[in-house]
Chains A and B, each alone.
Chain A
Amino acid sequence: DGGITQSPKYLFRKEGQNVTLSCEQNLNHDAMYWYRQDPGQGLRLIYYSQIVNDFQKGDIAEGYSVSREKKESFPLTVTSAQKNPTAFYLCASKDRDPGNTIYFGEGSWLTVV
């Protein structure tokens, strides 16, 4: 089955710790994205990558880091510098064909305790 796999689904982090969320896609998509959703708000872009070994900051990149060493993988690290990390995180990918349809993973819940 082709798709986007995010793990873990639920994650608890102590304050001051870094945590990494995994995102893997087997759709052969070039572009990958990380969004964050907070209650009652829309999706806000954290980072995106259009090609391997390249990525750009989105609207709320502070306190996050990413890497794109492989086409299929785009992990997101939530660092201790992120002041409000508790949120629902969504990974997405898109190919170069016309249509601009982004496909999303199932999401990861991060809670800081």
Chain B
Amino acid sequence: DQQVKQNSPSLSVQEGRISILNCDYTNSMFDYFLWYKKYPAEGPTFLISISSIKDKNEDGRFTVFLNKSAKHLSLHIVPSQPGDSAVYFCALTSNFGNEKLTFGTGTRLTIIP
């Protein structure tokens, strides 16, 4: 039973345009949401996060949106750059302590120059 789904395994976007990555979840107990970026054969690196008390968090070119009623999370990257080409994972956790993260299956983003 996959609690966290990223339904698009891959996405191609023209350089300079907006990239939108989506993540859907089923467990309403999740209350903290993160996005990670991963290059091949490397560990994921943290990008941006949002808690359930907010619906938007912005950090430079990256913005995360949370729609709790729809159990939907999205990451917007604008403008997209070639260095953004990577696999992006959403990760969710159910409390504000040391609980485990549940990861989505990932979306491979390719930025076309």
Would A101 and B41 be within 8 Å (CB), given that A33-B100, A58-B100, A96-B97 are in contact? no
Question: Is A43 interfacial (CB 8 A cutoff)?
Answer: yes
Asked if residues A103 and B46 are in contact (CB atoms below 8 Å), the reply is yes
* Chain A at the B interface: SS class: strand
Q: B-side interface residues toward A, CB under 8 Å? A: 4, 6, 9, 32, 34, 36, 41-46, 49, 89, 91, 93, 96-106
Q: A-side interface residues toward B, CB under 8 Å? A: 4, 6, 30-31, 33, 35, 40-45, 48, 50, 58, 88, 90, 92, 94, 96, 98-107, 109
29 contacts between A and B (CB under 8 A): A6-B43, A40-B9, A41-B105, A42-B4, A42-B104, A42-B105, A43-B89, A44-B103, A45-B100, A45-B101, A48-B100, A50-B98, A58-B100, A90-B43, A92-B43, A94-B98, A96-B98, A98-B96, A100-B32, A100-B93, A100-B96, A100-B101, A101-B46, A101-B49, A102-B101, A104-B43, A106-B42, A107-B41, A109-B41
